Amino acid sequence: MKKNMGTADRVIRLIIAAIIGVLYYTGTISGTLGIVLLVLAGVFVLTSFISFCPLYAPFGLSTCPSKKP
């Protein structure tokens, strides 16, 4: 797997995941929506740690800074 996520993308995903977690555990979101958002938050955390987003790959997207020779 080639990394396709930059630092800003990773930080934003971690912040969104943290917000979803806090909202779920405080009871602001619950039920099916809460479970779906928790799964999404888990995916955000996982992709942030491995710096690879599977949805970026088919479209050739990358938020990594380009390397200059």
Query: What is the number of structural domains in the chain?
Result: 1
Q: Does 31 fall in a domain?
A: yes
32 falls within a domain: yes
Residue 44 lies in a domain: yes
Which range of residues forms the domain containing residue 19? 7-50
Predicted TM-score (pTM) of the model is: 0.85
- Residue 63, domain member (yes or no): no
Is 41 within the bounds of a domain? yes
Indicate if the pLDDT at residue 68 is higher than 70: no
> Is residue 25 in some structural domain?
yes
| Percent with pLDDT over 70 in the chain | 96
Residues contacting residue 4 through CB under 8 Å, at least 6 positions apart? 51, 52, 53, 56, 57, 61, 62, 63, 64
User: Residues 4-42: pLDDT tens digits?
Assistant: 899 999 999 999 999 999 999 999 999 999 999 999 999
